[in-house]
Amino acid sequence: MAMSDDEGDCSAEGCHASLLDFENVHDAAEDCSSCHESSGKAHPENPGKEFSLTTAMPLLCFDCHDQSEQITNRTHGPANESTPCLSCHNPHASDFSALLKQDEADLCFHCHNTEIDFEKRIIPEIASRVLESEFVHSPVEDGCGDCHKSHSPENALLEGTFPASNYGENSTESYGLCFDCHDDANIFSEKESDTAFRVDGENLHFVHVAQDKSRSCINCHNVHGADFEHLVAGSVYFGKWNMPLGFQDNDRERSCLTGCHELKTYNGE
């Protein structure tokens, strides 16, 4: 039996009756011959040998999808696999947006439930930070999509600009992603800000960030979740060193003792 242009022959009844029975259906899947072609062997007498893809993946996907938008100089790890798109997407239909195989957060945590050693740096384990921390960054409570885009050309597949390391440029543009939600005055205003990270009226965010050697947010905060208020981390990665911050919160006075400096205290005034 050769493949017919009538989709009903494949998906309306029989073996493939439930293939497209989902909320979101891939347009290409409505005509099986868009991606599959007969190999000339009788179907279904030669399981797995009757049909082949019209083009090898991922080139098949790029017949319709813009390759420049999917494969960038910061390609997501799963996209480097032999059948890259299938790591995250169902090619026929799905109950999840973008034809994802699972709910977005569950799909991401399938890989990000352990530390990943990537290009001379450690990508921290994220799942427990989101699921178990006392304080969770609100954008990630419902998934990763508010800050990350799986095919983004930005560092860490982010939706906007953010330093690629522990140091960034002394500019609001360098932290563009953060300022989609946060007031840049809390970082780049020396005196006039609402931040409680201050002592004697001096904004300590300004001291850390608004300098020639601008120290990125990840030096003090876990941007996914933490056990201290304001997402202050117990330890942060500096290269491959998991550096303890020695943060203490004692009523009105707080202090930290990091690998960067001696014991420092502040009182939010």
Query: Mind giving me the DSSP string for 63-98?
Result: GTS-HHHHS-TT--GGGGSSSGGGGTB-SSEESSGG
**Mean pLDDT value of segment 188-209:** 89
Q: What is the pLDDT of residues 47-89, one digit of tens each?
A: 778 888 999 888 898 889 887 766 655 567 777 677 778 889 9
**Mean pLDDT value of segment 191-206:** 88
Task: Enter the pTM of the model.
Answer: 0.80
pLDDT at 205: 94
Q: What is the pLDDT of residues 16-29, one digit of tens each?
A: 888 899 999 999 99
Query: Which is nearest to 20 in space by CA: 8, 3, 33, 2?
Result: 8
> Is residue 199 predicted with pLDDT exceeding 60?
yes
pLDDT at 75: 66
Report the mean per-residue pLDDT for the chain: 86
Kindly state the DSSP code that residue 99 receives in the 8-state scheme. Answer: G
pLDDT above 90 covers a percentage of the chain that reads: 49
Residues 131/142, Cβ–Cβ less than 8 Å:
no
CA pair distance 63, 60, nearest whole angstrom: 5
Domain ranges (residues) in the chain? 1-101, 104-269
Of the pLDDT bands very low, low, confident and very high (cuts 50, 70, 90), residue 1 is: very low
Query: What residues have CB less than 8 Å from 124, skipping those under 6 apart?
Result: 115, 222, 237
Q: Of the ranges 197-206, 218-227, 248-257, which one carries the lowest mean pLDDT score?
A: 248-257
Name the E strands within 30-161: 36-38, 51-53, 93-94, 116-118, 121-123, 135-136
Q: What is the pLDDT of residues 222-252, one digit of tens each?
A: 999 999 999 999 999 888 889 999 999 887 7
Query: Which is nearest to 18 in space by CA: 124, 130, 93, 89?
Result: 93
Q: What is the pLDDT of residues 89-131, one digit of tens each?
A: 999 999 999 999 999 999 999 989 998 887 777 888 999 999 9
CA pair distance 73, 153, nearest whole angstrom: 7
